[in-house]
Amino acid sequence: MNALKWDREFAMEQAADDRELLQELLTIFKDSLQADVLLIEQGLEEESPSKVCSAAHSIKGASASLGIMGIKELALIIEEESRAGGLETARLKLPELQSLLHQVQNL
């Protein structure tokens, strides 16, 4: 779980100290993360920096809102390079992002 760098206290604050609400938010996050990772994969397949950038931006915001800084930091790297038109970093970082996706399923 270290790679996730999850700040549970921050996440609980975001959920107004309501554990059920936090679980709901995490469920929504997991679903959207999975969909956005698929969009990144599609964007790489299609050689579409804009698609990769958009999905990475979505991941960055959602993970930051729940204090999952490992994913946020990785998404920021992918977003910045793809915004500049490059896809190599996204290709290199995709396995790491997929690994974090699997880790987040256990939250």
CB-based burial label for 85 (10 Å; 0-12, 13-18, 19+)? exposed
- Whether the model clears a pTM of 0.95, i.e. scores above it, the answer is no
- Looking at the DSSP bridge assignments, the partners of residue 68 are 6
- Looking at the DSSP bridge assignments, the partners of residue 6 are 68
**pLDDT (tens digit per residue) in 72-100:** 999 999 999 999 999 999 999 999 999 99
**pLDDT (tens digit per residue) in 21-34:** 999 999 999 999 99
Q: Where are the domains of the chain?
A: 2-104
Fold of 2-104: Four Helix Bundle (Hemerythrin (Met), subunit A) (1.20.120)
pLDDT score, position 106 = 87
**pLDDT (tens digit per residue) in 36-59:** 999 999 999 999 999 999 999 999
Q: Which residue's structure tokens are 């790679």? A: 3
In whole angstroms, give the CA distance from residue 87 to residue 57: 14
